[in-house]
Chains A and B, each alone.
Chain A
Amino acid sequence: MERKEIQDWINEVRKTDILVGIPSFNNGRTIGHVVRAVQAGLAKYFPNKKAVLVNSDGGSSDGTMDVVRNTVIEDYSSLLVTNQTEPMFRLATHYHGSPGKGSAFRTIFEIADALDAKACAVVDSDLRSITPEWIELLVKPVLSEQFDYVTPLYHRHKYDGTITNSIIYPLTRSLYGKRVRQPIGGDFGFSGDLARMYLSKDVWGTDVARYGIDIWMTTTAIAGNYRICQAFLGAKIHDPKDPGADLSAMLFQVVGATLDLMETYRETWKTVSGSGPVPVFGFEYAVGLEPVAFDLERMKDRFRLGVRELMGIWEAFLPGEVTAFLNDVCERRDVFHIPDEIWVRIIYCFAIAAHKQIMSKEHLLKSLTPLYIGKTASFVEETLESDARDVEEKIDRLCTAFEENKHLIVENWN
C-alpha cells in the first residue's frame, strides 16, 4: 500500500479510541490466530470503542498481509459476543526504513498519532497462546486507569527467557529502580501520548529501528517517569525460533541496546538506589508449560572453552579476583557454581568496558557468551529441583545483588 493510500485510509477512519499493532515478517502461518484474538478481544471487551488493527509488515513473501486482510470471525456468538456496535478497521501495510521491529513500530506510532488514538497495544505475530483477554489486559489499564505503559507478565518455564532473567531484568531493575519483570516481553500497551513521545525521539536511524525497540520503549517510559504497570497474560507460547539463530548475536543486540540506553540516561540511573514494585493487573493462575531440553555438560564445556581461550580479552577489564575465580571454576570438576556477586561484577565490568570503548563493542559483548552460558549452566544446576516460586525467589536475590553492588558501576563510570 502506498503512502497516499495510507493517507486516504487515515482520512476515512479519521479518529480512533484503540489501535492494536502487529509487526510481522513472514508470519503467515500464525498471524491469522493473532488477528482473530485481537478482533475477538476488541469486540468482547471494547464493543463501544472505535478500534483499528494495523499490520506493519517487513515485506513478507508468504502472504502474511493477505492473511491479515482476509481473516474474519464468522460467528461472534460462539465467543459470547452479542453487543458489538463499532466496526473494526484494519490496515495491512509495508513499513519504510531499516528492516526491523523498530521500523515496524514506528509506522504503528505514526498511524496512532495520525488517528489520535487514546490507547494502543502491540502484540507479536508469532504468538500461539494469545487470547482475547490479552487485548483487554494491555489496553484497559491505559483507557480506564490512566497508565501510560503496560508491560507483559507471563508464566514462563524456569529455563525460558534466560537472558531476561540473568541480565536484562536485574540490570534494568537496579539501574532505573522499577521492578518491570519482562522489560523485553514484546507485547505492550501504551497511551497515545506515549506513542507521540516515542515518535518525537530521534532514534529511527539507529539500532533501535532494527532490534532494540523493546528495551528502548520500556527504558524510555521508565526514565520519562510515565505511569507504568504490568498485566498478567498467562503463558507465552510462540512459534519456535530459528534453532540456528546465533546466541552471541542475540546477546550483542539485546545487551548492547541496554548498554546504549545507559549512555542516554546516565543522569537518571546514577541517582537511583534500590527498587520499587510496579502494579500488576490480571488474575494470576498456574499454567502448564512445555518442557525445555538442555545439555548441561555441553554448556559447561562451552564455558570452559571460553575461559581458556578468551581470558586474554577479559583480563583487560575484569578484576583479578574475578578472573582467578573463573579459572578456578574452569579447573574444578566437582562443583560448578557461579555466585550472584561474581556475575554482578562481570556484568558491571562489561558495561564499564563498553562505556570506555576499550575494544569493539561487538567483540566485547560477543565475548560475554561463554560466561553467560556458564551462568545459565550454574543456574540450571542450582534449580533442577526448584519450582516456579523458588526460581522466582532466586532471580529476586540476583536482582538484590545487582542493586547492592550498584555503587561499583556508579563509581567506575567516569
Chain B
Amino acid sequence: MNFYERLIDEPIKGFLDRIVDFLPNILTAILILIFGLAAGWLTKVILRKILVVLKLDRLAEKVGFRRILVKGGLHEPLSSLLAKITGGFIVLAFLVVALGTLNIEVIHRLIERLFNYLPSIFFASVIISIGYVLGNFLGRATLIAAVNAGISMARFIGNGVKYLILFISISIALEQLGIGRDTVLISYAVVLSGFVLALAIAFGLGGRDSAKDFIERKLKGEERKNNINHL
C-alpha cells in the first residue's frame, strides 16, 4: 500500500462506505419525523374537535379553570391549548424515535438521559407556566394600581413586576433542570441588586424634586384638594 492509498484513498473510501451504510438510517429518521409532524398536526386537529364536542371549554368555564387561565393572560380556549400540547408531545415522541433509528451511540445515550430528564423538564415547564400566569396577573394588578395612584411610570412598574416574576420562575425552573446552579444564583443576585440599585439611583437623583414637592404638598394638605364624595 503506497502513501497515497494509506493517507487519502482509504479514509475517503471508508468514509463513503459509512455514509452509504448510514444513509438508510437518515432517510428512515427523516421519514419518521415527517410522519410524526403529520401525526402531531392530525392529533391536534382531531383532539380539538373531540374536546369541543365534549364541551370541555364550557366545563372549564364552569369549574373556574378558564378564569385562572384568562387571569394569567392565556385567552386561548382550553380545548385548543390541550390539543396543541398533545400534538407537541407526539411530535417530540416521533423525534426521539427518529433519532434512535440513527443508531449512534452518543444519540442513544442522549435519548436515555433525555428520558431520565423528562420529569425535571415537566416540573420546569409547570414552574414556568405558573410564573407566566402569575406574572401576567400581578403585572396587570400593579399597572392598574399604579395608574389609579397617578404614577406616570405605571407601565414600567407593571412590566417590572411581570418580568421579575417571570425571571424568578425561569431561575427556579433552570435550577430544577440542574443547569448552571451557581450561574443562575449569581446572575439572579446581580440582576436583582442591579434593579434595586437602579431604582434607588433613579428615585434618589431623578425624583429628588418630585419627592420634595410631594412631601411638601402632603404636609400642607394640598393632596386633598378633591373632596368629592363618590357614593
User: Is B224 at the interface (CB under 8 A from chain A)?
Assistant: yes
Q: Is the CB of A363 within 8 A of B141?
A: yes
B82 to chain A, nearest CB (A): 20
Tell me which of B47-55, B92-100, B118-126, B148-156 binds A: B148-156
**B148 contacts across to A, CB distance below 8 A:** 246-248, 306, 366, 369-370
Partner of B225, one of A250, A293, A357: A293
B226 touches A164 (CB 8 A): no
B67 in the interface (beta carbon within 8 A): yes
The digit string for B58-77, where 1 denotes a CB below 8 A from any CB of A, is 00010000110011000000
In the docked arrangement, what's the CA distance between A164 and B227, Å?
A: 16
Task: Indicate if the CB atoms of A309 and B229 lie closer than 8 Å.
Answer: no
Interface presence of A180 (CB below 8 A): no
Interface size band for A = 35 or more
**B155 — which chain A residues lie within 8 A by C-beta?**
309
Q: Smallest Cβ distance from A311 to chain B, in angstroms?
A: 11
B230 interface residue, CB < 8 Å from A? yes
**B132 within 8 A of partner (CB):** no
Q: Within the assembled complex, what's the spacing in Å between the Cα atoms of A251 and B148?
A: 11
Residue contact A248 to B144, C-beta cutoff 8 Å: yes
Q: Does A39 contact B (CB under 8 A)?
A: no
Q: Contact at A366–B144, with CB atoms within 8 Å? A: yes
User: How many positions in chain B have a CB within 8 Å of any CB in the partner chain?
Assistant: 26
- Residues from chain A with a CB closer than 8 A to the CB of B228 are 159-160, 162, 292, 294, 376
Which residue of chain A has its CB nearest to the CB of B156? A309
B143→A359 contact, CB < 8 A: no
Q: Which of A228-264 contact B (CB under 8 A)?
A: 240-241, 243, 246-248, 250-251, 254
Q: Is A412 an interface residue (CB 8 A)?
A: no
Question: How close is B59's CB to chain A, nearest CB, in angstroms?
Answer: 14
Contact A161 B70 (CB under 8 A): no
Given contacts A161-B230, A164-B231, A295-B226, contact A301 B61 (CB under 8 A): no
Q: Is B140 an interface residue (CB 8 A)?
A: yes
A305 touches B71 (CB 8 A): no
A299 & B226 in contact (Cβ 8 Å cutoff): yes
**A322 on the interface (CB 8 Å rule)?**
no
B145 within 8 A of A: yes
- Report yes or no: B154 in contact with A309, Cβ–Cβ below 8 A: yes
CA of A301 to CA of B225 in the docked complex: distance in angstroms?
14
Known contacts A293-B225, A309-B143: A250-B230 contact under CB 8 Å: yes
A367 to B144 Cα, complex, angstroms: 6
Q: Is the CB of A163 within 8 A of B231?
A: yes
Known: A248-B144, A366-B144. A305 touches B229 (CB 8 A): no
Question: What's the Cα separation between A310 and B149 when bound, in Å?
Answer: 13
CA distance A403 to B186 in the complex (A): 62
10 contacts between A and B (CB under 8 A): A160-B228, A293-B225, A294-B227, A294-B228, A305-B147, A357-B66, A357-B67, A362-B141, A366-B144, A367-B147
A residues whose Cβ falls under 8 Å from a Cβ of B: 159-164, 184, 240-241, 243, 246-248, 250-251, 254, 292-295, 298-299, 301-302, 305-306, 309-310, 313, 357-360, 362-363, 366-367, 369-370, 376
On B, residues with C-beta under 8 Å from A are 61, 66-67, 70-71, 137, 140-141, 143-148, 150, 152, 154-155, 224-231
- List 14 extra interface pairs beyond A163-B231, A250-B231, A360-B67, CB under 8 A: A160-B228, A160-B229, A161-B229, A247-B230, A248-B145, A254-B231, A294-B227, A294-B228, A309-B147, A359-B70, A359-B71, A367-B147, A369-B147, A370-B148
